[in-house]
Structure 1
Amino acid sequence: MGTTQLEAVQEPKYWHLKTVLNDALDSEFEVGEILPNERDLAARFGVARATLRQALEQLELEGRLQRRRGVGTTVAPPRIGVSVGPSANVWPGAVRDAWSTVGCVEAAAPAPIAALLGTGREEAVHTVRRERVVQGQPVATELLYVPTASVPGLSALLTPAEHGPAVLRELHALDLEGEDRAVELGSARAEDARQLDRLPGAPVLVVTTRYYAQGGVAAASVATYRADTCRLTFGDSGALEVLHDQPDTRRAS
């Protein structure tokens, strides 16, 4: 396709450019292929590099592109349907849980988490770090915060490798009374970006969950999912396949 000059349009120029780039991705590029550099792309489409960056950022947010460390901007594979959890309330670490525990520390929680838990700012909590891998690639990382009062039977003589699994076992001894969950768009922090093999600031979906037991909040988790590769699914009925070329047609898979 030859050089395309954008004419005056009602919508923002970067948004129109995003549509043009999206069509080019479908017709000219393969999954995993590296895009030309920004200078060449800006010249091809007759736009400023700032406009091009806005369009590329939007396509990354929509899951069409990925920025990869040491590689550049590549065409993203189709999004993976990732189940956030069944509709029935279950503790983290239950049977068929897709997460792996990678570490645990005991320290004061950040102020926003302490507010979620209803604990004092200086009160120690167990922070279990978990990760999730789908089809060989990391798709999510999670911090599960558990107040010491929720797991009073936890042994003080635990090795680092035993700490996280032991916290989860103690949680399972409680009767889970319910949970609530919120999902919001965010940007990857440096540590999460490293865990997810993304660049800091990459778009992510943040799922915050509170677990209730014994009449109060027994634990809280903050799970960070790669927004460029994930479609979050909820419930027991399986993933919902969204046919993007037919927006009004949806079917359960």
Structure 2
Amino acid sequence: MGTTQLEATQDVQEPKYWHLKTVLNDALDSEFSVGEILPNERDLAARFGVARATLRQALEQLELEGRLQRRRGVGTTVAPPRMGVAVGPVDNAWPGIGNDTWRTVGCAEAVAPAAVARLFDSGAGVPVHTIRRERVMNGQPVATELLYVPAESVPGLPGLLSPASHAPAVLRELQRLDLEGEDRAVELGSARAEDAKQLDRLPGAPVLVVTTRYFAAGQVAAVAISTYRADTCRLTFGDTGTVEVTPHEEQERRQAS
């Protein structure tokens, strides 16, 4: 790499790290290939004549935008182009059927976390079956999911299930219900430690969180919280998918009502 300094421009009103991000973005296009490891922070900061804190801000923004990836034991590499990941089928369908591409990796029975209980419009202490699933594309993990199914949604579930049959039995009983509809919300978030491990990312890496509520018999019968890698995925929706923009204040008001 050369030794080009970041030029100061009086006309530029944007923060210094943002201007640096633009310069770095151009360098990624002209000097690096996909998968190539970037020089260390000290060398990059020296090249552009900026503080390492400013450099880190620019690198974090490029990671958020999907241009860079931080990998354990490797460093910061140039990311491949984002792949399109369909959020769901065109027609409403229960998890586990149709063109569902998720793979079950575990299942447990416990009380729903408070935030999940609110999605069911119920109080704390709701017993749920929690199915963990993952999604892999081109040999690469792109998403992890927690599917919460209240015990009352699957009253016909057999007792004394083995670990291997638990998740298939829950999904089978859920699919016996008449699906009346579903809604989805998409938010930007940060990877929790467990999700980061499954996605081969560092904790705190940018992710897209898709929350889906499935309705049957006039109530929420299941909730899926899917965590997608924001550095590799761009979400696509079917013909029936709609995007609703809700201000944060309105979300809080709805949750409180």
Q: CA deviation at 1:118?
A: 2.7
Establish whether residue 20 from structure 1 lines up as the match of residue 23 from structure 2.
yes
User: What's the secondary structure of 2:128's corresponding residue?
Assistant: strand
**Alpha carbons 2:142, 2:232 under 8 Å: kept:** yes
Establish whether residue 41 from structure 1 lines up as the match of residue 44 from structure 2.
yes
User: What's the secondary structure of 1:85's corresponding residue?
Assistant: coil
Moved more, 73-82 or 85-94: 85-94
Gaps of 5+ in 1: 238-253
Establish whether residue 180 from structure 1 lines up as the match of residue 180 from structure 2.
no
User: What's the secondary structure of 2:87's corresponding residue?
Assistant: strand
For 2:85 and 2:111, the matched residues in 1 are separated by 31
- In the TM superposition, what whole-angstrom CA distance separates every residue of 1:174-207 from its partner, at most 9, and x where no partner exists? 0000111000000000000001000000000000
**1:61-140 residue pairs with structure 2 within 5 A?**
61-140=64-143
**1:46-65 residue pairs with structure 2 within 5 A?**
46-65=49-68
**Alpha carbons 2:89, 2:99 under 8 Å: kept:** no
Gaps of 5+ in 2: 241-257
Q: CA deviation at 1:17?
A: 0.3
User: What's the secondary structure of 1:23's corresponding residue?
Assistant: helix
2:34 maps to which residue? Answer: 31
2:251 maps to which residue? Answer: none
Alpha carbons of structure 1 residues 236 and 99: separation in structure 2 relative to 1, 3 Å = farther
| Paired residue type of 1:49 | R
1:6 maps to which residue? Answer: 7
Establish whether residue 160 from structure 1 lines up as the match of residue 180 from structure 2.
no
After the TM superposition, which parts of structure 1 deviate over 3 Å for at least 4 consecutive aligned residues?
Answer: none
| Paired residue type of 1:109 | A
**Alpha carbons 2:35, 2:80 under 8 Å: kept:** yes
1:241 maps to which residue? Answer: none
Alpha carbons of structure 1 residues 123 and 5: separation in structure 2 relative to 1, 3 Å = closer
- In the TM superposition, what whole-angstrom CA distance separates every residue of 1:117-158 from its partner, at most 9, and x where no partner exists? 133322210000000000000000000000000000111121
2:227 maps to which residue? Answer: 224
1:196 maps to which residue? Answer: 199
What is the number of equivalent residue pairs in this alignment?
A: 237
For 2:8 and 2:168, the matched residues in 1 are separated by 59
| Paired residue type of 1:58 | Q
For 2:82 and 2:239, the matched residues in 1 are separated by 20
| Paired residue type of 1:183 | V
Moved more, 118-127 or 176-185: 118-127
**Alpha carbons 2:3, 2:48 under 8 Å: kept:** no
User: What's the secondary structure of 2:215's corresponding residue?
Assistant: strand
For 2:230 and 2:5, the matched residues in 1 are separated by 30
1:142 maps to which residue? Answer: 145
Q: CA deviation at 1:236?
A: 5.2
Identity over the aligned pairs, expressed in percent?
78
For 1:193 and 1:199, the matched residues in 2 are separated by 6
Q: CA deviation at 1:86?
A: 1.9
Alpha carbons of structure 1 residues 95 and 86: separation in structure 2 relative to 1, 3 Å = closer
1:240 maps to which residue? Answer: none
User: What's the secondary structure of 2:73's corresponding residue?
Assistant: coil
More strand by share: 1
| Paired residue type of 2:116 | I
For 1:5 and 1:230, the matched residues in 2 are separated by 31
For 1:12 and 1:23, the matched residues in 2 are separated by 17
Q: CA deviation at 1:2?
A: 3.2
**Alpha carbons 2:108, 2:131 under 8 Å: kept:** yes
